[in-house]
Structure 1
Amino acid sequence: MNLAHHIAVVLGTAPTPQPDHVTAAGQAANQATDSNTGTAADVLTAIGPTGMLLLLLIAAFVLYVVSLSLHPNAKCGRCKGAGRHHGSIFSYAQRPCSSCKGRGIQPRLGRKLFFKES
Protein backbone atom coordinates (compact mmCIF):
# COMPACT_ATOMS: atom_id res chain seq x y z
CA MET A 1 0.00 0.00 0.00
CA ASN A 2 1.14 3.47 -0.70
CA LEU A 3 1.12 6.51 1.57
CA ALA A 4 -2.06 7.98 0.07
CA HIS A 5 -3.96 4.78 0.78
CA HIS A 6 -2.73 4.77 4.43
CA ILE A 7 -3.91 8.35 4.90
CA ALA A 8 -7.29 7.51 3.36
CA VAL A 9 -7.68 4.56 5.75
CA VAL A 10 -6.81 6.72 8.77
CA LEU A 11 -9.24 9.44 7.70
CA GLY A 12 -11.93 6.84 7.08
CA THR A 13 -12.50 7.71 3.44
CA ALA A 14 -11.01 4.52 2.03
CA PRO A 15 -13.38 1.84 0.73
CA THR A 16 -13.80 -1.10 3.09
CA PRO A 17 -13.68 -4.67 1.81
CA GLN A 18 -16.51 -5.67 4.20
CA PRO A 19 -20.25 -5.38 3.43
CA ASP A 20 -22.16 -2.51 5.04
CA HIS A 21 -24.17 -4.68 7.45
CA VAL A 22 -20.97 -6.21 8.91
CA THR A 23 -19.44 -2.76 9.36
CA ALA A 24 -22.60 -1.42 11.01
CA ALA A 25 -22.72 -4.38 13.41
CA GLY A 26 -19.08 -3.84 14.34
CA GLN A 27 -19.65 -0.14 15.00
CA ALA A 28 -22.71 -0.88 17.15
CA ALA A 29 -20.70 -3.40 19.17
CA ASN A 30 -17.92 -0.86 19.68
CA GLN A 31 -20.40 1.79 20.86
CA ALA A 32 -22.02 -0.65 23.28
CA THR A 33 -18.62 -1.57 24.67
CA ASP A 34 -17.66 2.09 25.05
CA SER A 35 -20.86 2.98 26.89
CA ASN A 36 -20.47 0.08 29.36
CA THR A 37 -16.91 0.93 30.35
CA GLY A 38 -17.55 4.04 32.46
CA THR A 39 -14.84 4.79 34.96
CA ALA A 40 -15.38 5.97 38.51
CA ALA A 41 -14.47 9.51 37.45
CA ASP A 42 -17.19 9.43 34.79
CA VAL A 43 -19.76 8.29 37.35
CA LEU A 44 -18.70 10.96 39.85
CA THR A 45 -18.92 13.62 37.18
CA ALA A 46 -22.39 12.43 36.20
CA ILE A 47 -23.88 12.48 39.71
CA GLY A 48 -22.26 15.74 40.79
CA PRO A 49 -21.32 16.95 44.27
CA THR A 50 -24.87 16.80 45.66
CA GLY A 51 -25.31 13.23 44.53
CA MET A 52 -21.94 12.30 46.01
CA LEU A 53 -22.89 13.84 49.35
CA LEU A 54 -26.17 11.93 49.26
CA LEU A 55 -24.35 8.66 48.52
CA LEU A 56 -21.94 9.25 51.42
CA LEU A 57 -24.82 9.99 53.81
CA ILE A 58 -26.65 6.84 52.74
CA ALA A 59 -23.48 4.78 53.18
CA ALA A 60 -22.91 6.24 56.67
CA PHE A 61 -26.51 5.48 57.64
CA VAL A 62 -26.23 1.89 56.41
CA LEU A 63 -23.01 1.41 58.40
CA TYR A 64 -24.70 2.84 61.51
CA VAL A 65 -27.66 0.44 61.18
CA VAL A 66 -25.27 -2.50 60.72
CA SER A 67 -23.39 -1.34 63.83
CA LEU A 68 -26.69 -1.20 65.75
CA SER A 69 -27.56 -4.72 64.74
CA LEU A 70 -24.13 -6.04 65.76
CA HIS A 71 -23.81 -4.03 69.00
CA PRO A 72 -27.28 -3.00 70.20
CA ASN A 73 -26.29 -2.11 73.79
CA ALA A 74 -23.94 0.42 75.37
CA LYS A 75 -22.59 0.81 78.90
CA CYS A 76 -24.93 2.54 81.28
CA GLY A 77 -23.88 6.16 81.62
CA ARG A 78 -25.10 6.47 85.17
CA CYS A 79 -23.24 3.52 86.78
CA LYS A 80 -20.49 3.29 84.11
CA GLY A 81 -21.39 -0.34 83.38
CA ALA A 82 -20.98 -1.60 86.95
CA GLY A 83 -24.70 -2.18 87.49
CA ARG A 84 -24.67 -0.71 91.01
CA HIS A 85 -24.25 2.58 92.84
CA HIS A 86 -22.07 3.10 95.89
CA GLY A 87 -23.32 5.14 98.81
CA SER A 88 -22.02 8.68 99.17
CA ILE A 89 -21.64 8.63 102.96
CA PHE A 90 -21.05 4.92 103.48
CA SER A 91 -19.07 4.05 100.37
CA TYR A 92 -19.16 0.31 101.10
CA ALA A 93 -22.97 0.31 100.73
CA GLN A 94 -24.28 -0.59 97.27
CA ARG A 95 -27.61 -0.69 95.50
CA PRO A 96 -28.66 -1.69 91.99
CA CYS A 97 -28.56 1.09 89.43
CA SER A 98 -32.05 2.51 88.95
CA SER A 99 -31.35 3.48 85.34
CA CYS A 100 -30.26 0.08 83.98
CA LYS A 101 -31.86 -2.00 86.77
CA GLY A 102 -28.51 -3.51 87.72
CA ARG A 103 -27.63 -4.88 84.27
CA GLY A 104 -24.87 -2.36 83.50
CA ILE A 105 -26.01 -1.89 79.90
CA GLN A 106 -28.65 0.17 78.15
CA PRO A 107 -29.96 0.06 74.58
CA ARG A 108 -28.31 2.54 72.24
CA LEU A 109 -30.33 5.54 71.09
CA GLY A 110 -30.54 4.30 67.48
CA ARG A 111 -31.84 0.96 68.71
CA LYS A 112 -34.63 2.74 70.54
CA LEU A 113 -35.49 4.80 67.43
CA PHE A 114 -35.15 2.29 64.60
CA PHE A 115 -35.82 -1.07 66.27
CA LYS A 116 -38.86 -0.51 68.44
CA GLU A 117 -39.23 -3.36 70.91
CA SER A 118 -42.28 -4.10 73.00
Structure 2
Amino acid sequence: MMTGQWESLGEAGGIEAYVHRPAGEVRGAVVVCSELYGVNAYVRETCAELAAAGYVALAPDYYWRNARRTALGYSAEEREDGLVLMRALDRDELVADASAALATARAEAGGGAWRSSV
Protein backbone atom coordinates (compact mmCIF):
# COMPACT_ATOMS: atom_id res chain seq x y z
CA MET A 1 0.00 0.00 0.00
CA MET A 2 1.21 3.50 -0.80
CA THR A 3 1.22 6.12 1.92
CA GLY A 4 2.29 9.71 1.98
CA GLN A 5 4.40 11.29 4.66
CA TRP A 6 6.19 14.52 5.51
CA GLU A 7 9.92 14.49 4.76
CA SER A 8 12.73 17.01 5.03
CA LEU A 9 14.13 18.33 1.75
CA GLY A 10 17.44 19.30 3.28
CA GLU A 11 18.71 20.18 6.69
CA ALA A 12 16.59 19.27 9.69
CA GLY A 13 14.31 22.12 10.67
CA GLY A 14 14.17 23.44 7.09
CA ILE A 15 11.66 22.98 4.32
CA GLU A 16 9.62 19.80 4.24
CA ALA A 17 7.43 18.28 1.57
CA TYR A 18 4.54 15.87 1.65
CA VAL A 19 5.91 12.91 -0.34
CA HIS A 20 3.98 10.03 -1.87
CA ARG A 21 5.88 7.19 -3.55
CA PRO A 22 4.49 4.52 -5.89
CA ALA A 23 4.20 0.95 -4.69
CA GLY A 24 6.00 -0.35 -7.79
CA GLU A 25 8.45 0.93 -10.35
CA VAL A 26 9.14 4.67 -10.36
CA ARG A 27 8.28 6.29 -13.71
CA GLY A 28 9.50 9.73 -12.69
CA ALA A 29 8.88 12.45 -10.13
CA VAL A 30 6.53 15.42 -9.96
CA VAL A 31 6.68 18.53 -7.79
CA VAL A 32 3.11 19.44 -6.88
CA CYS A 33 2.93 23.15 -6.11
CA SER A 34 0.14 24.01 -3.75
CA GLU A 35 -2.21 26.86 -4.28
CA LEU A 36 -3.01 29.54 -1.72
CA TYR A 37 -4.29 26.96 0.78
CA GLY A 38 -1.05 25.12 1.45
CA VAL A 39 -0.60 21.35 1.36
CA ASN A 40 -4.22 20.58 2.08
CA ALA A 41 -6.33 17.47 1.46
CA TYR A 42 -6.72 18.26 -2.25
CA VAL A 43 -2.94 18.52 -2.76
CA ARG A 44 -2.30 15.35 -0.76
CA GLU A 45 -4.94 13.49 -2.82
CA THR A 46 -3.27 14.73 -6.02
CA CYS A 47 0.03 13.32 -4.74
CA ALA A 48 -1.67 9.98 -4.06
CA GLU A 49 -3.12 9.88 -7.58
CA LEU A 50 0.28 10.59 -9.12
CA ALA A 51 1.88 7.87 -6.99
CA ALA A 52 -0.80 5.44 -8.13
CA ALA A 53 0.28 6.25 -11.71
CA GLY A 54 3.91 5.44 -10.86
CA TYR A 55 5.33 8.85 -9.99
CA VAL A 56 7.01 10.07 -6.83
CA ALA A 57 4.96 13.14 -5.95
CA LEU A 58 6.20 15.78 -3.56
CA ALA A 59 4.36 18.88 -2.42
CA PRO A 60 6.70 21.42 -0.79
CA ASP A 61 5.49 23.31 2.28
CA TYR A 62 6.27 26.81 1.00
CA TYR A 63 4.73 28.43 4.11
CA TRP A 64 7.05 26.55 6.52
CA ARG A 65 8.83 29.65 7.83
CA ASN A 66 5.59 31.14 9.16
CA ALA A 67 3.17 28.24 9.59
CA ARG A 68 4.58 24.74 9.14
CA ARG A 69 2.40 22.17 7.35
CA THR A 70 -0.41 24.59 6.54
CA ALA A 71 -3.53 22.84 5.25
CA LEU A 72 -6.37 25.30 4.80
CA GLY A 73 -9.89 24.69 3.57
CA TYR A 74 -11.79 26.83 1.11
CA SER A 75 -13.85 29.08 3.38
CA ALA A 76 -13.61 32.87 3.08
CA GLU A 77 -11.82 33.03 6.44
CA GLU A 78 -9.24 30.42 5.44
CA ARG A 79 -8.73 32.20 2.12
CA GLU A 80 -7.81 35.33 4.06
CA ASP A 81 -5.42 33.29 6.22
CA GLY A 82 -3.81 31.98 3.05
CA LEU A 83 -3.45 35.47 1.61
CA VAL A 84 -1.64 36.61 4.75
CA LEU A 85 0.78 33.68 4.46
CA MET A 86 1.29 34.19 0.74
CA ARG A 87 2.06 37.88 1.17
CA ALA A 88 4.70 37.00 3.78
CA LEU A 89 6.68 34.89 1.31
CA ASP A 90 10.10 36.16 0.30
CA ARG A 91 10.91 35.70 -3.40
CA ASP A 92 14.52 34.57 -2.86
CA GLU A 93 13.52 32.11 -0.14
CA LEU A 94 10.73 30.76 -2.33
CA VAL A 95 13.16 30.22 -5.23
CA ALA A 96 15.54 28.40 -2.87
CA ASP A 97 12.70 26.19 -1.62
CA ALA A 98 11.55 25.41 -5.16
CA SER A 99 15.14 24.55 -6.12
CA ALA A 100 15.36 22.14 -3.18
CA ALA A 101 12.11 20.51 -4.29
CA LEU A 102 13.34 20.13 -7.88
CA ALA A 103 16.67 18.68 -6.71
CA THR A 104 14.81 16.15 -4.58
CA ALA A 105 12.51 15.25 -7.46
CA ARG A 106 15.51 14.75 -9.74
CA ALA A 107 17.12 12.40 -7.20
CA GLU A 108 13.86 10.50 -6.66
CA ALA A 109 13.39 10.06 -10.42
CA GLY A 110 16.53 7.96 -10.52
CA GLY A 111 18.56 9.95 -12.98
CA GLY A 112 18.34 9.52 -16.71
CA ALA A 113 16.72 12.17 -18.87
CA TRP A 114 15.36 14.98 -16.76
CA ARG A 115 12.84 17.62 -17.71
CA SER A 116 11.31 20.22 -15.48
CA SER A 117 8.52 22.71 -16.01
CA VAL A 118 6.42 25.11 -14.01
TM-score, normalised on structure 2? Answer: 0.20
- Higher relative contact order (Cα pairs below 8 Å, separated by 6+ residues): 2
TM-score, normalised on structure 1? Answer: 0.20
Which structure: greater strand fraction?
A: 2
Which structure: greater helix fraction?
A: 1
